[in-house]
Homo-oligomer: A and B are copies of this chain.
Amino acid sequence: MDIYEAMGSLRAVRRLKPDPIPDDVMDRVFQAAAWAPTGGNTQPFRIITVKDRAKMAVFQQMYSEEWATYTSAMRKGLDQMPDAQRASSRKMLKAGDYLADHMGDTPQLLVFCFNPKMMAITDSDLGRPSIVGGGSVYTAVQNLMLACRTEGLGCVLTTLLCFRESEVRELLDIPENWFTCAHIPIGYPVLKGHGPISRRSVDKMVYTDTFGQAYR
């Protein structure tokens, strides 16, 4: 698939079929992740693909609890929203509810782990939230999601389960110094899956020489 076509149609797909994914497809998806650039080429991440049904049931329970908490304020505020925002929020909630109700049935849940001791985190002492460690993991996450899109697989990047990290580490026997930063259910889409996406235009995202100065 052409690279721009893949990027321009990579949606968050939250309704996924339970159908298994062929091994050769997953080989290509994981190879895409392994190819990603990382600081000093240390590749400080690992992926655990969870297929065990008992573990998946635990993940579904944890995820649906966190999803309910995370969305409760939005649900209460729906009536106060402008019409367009309410429609879009309802749509997102409906798709998210589907995922929360069916995560345990998705064929594979990919848990990205990382080891901060293998990273040079250059923004850890700046007195503001640090995110640079993500530069050696989410490059791989994006490669993986683009590969899913190329292979016709739906997927969505979730991070809510970080709130349950201690339980997840125990469930997956994640050792000392390794932590979790992405939980990506994948499977073939129930509906159309990937397609048009809604984003701000380039001239609202890019400036020249000075913050806020017109791109062109």
A: which residues have CB within 8 A of B?
1-4, 6-8, 10, 12, 23, 27-28, 30-37, 39, 41, 43, 45-52, 55, 70, 113-114, 116, 119-124, 126, 128-135, 137-139, 141-143, 145-147, 150, 157, 159-160, 162-163, 165, 172-175, 178-179, 181-182, 197-202, 205-212, 215-216
Contact = CB atoms under 8 A, between A and B. Distances in A.
Given A30-B202, A34-B205, A130-B129, A212 B43 contact: no
Contacts of A114: 131
B134 A133 contact: yes
Given A1-B2, A138-B142, 4 more contacts: A3-B6, A30-B205, A46-B207, A122-B162
Q: How many copies does the complex hold?
A: 2
A159 B130 CA distance: 12
A133 B216 CA distance: 29
13 contacts: A3-B32, A3-B146, A4-B147, A27-B202, A34-B199, A49-B209, A113-B211, A121-B131, A122-B159, A123-B179, A124-B129, A135-B182, A142-B142
Given A205-B46, A206-B46, A145 B37 contact: yes
A62 to B, nearest CB: 13
Contact of A45 (B47, B178, B205): B205
B49 A35 contact: no
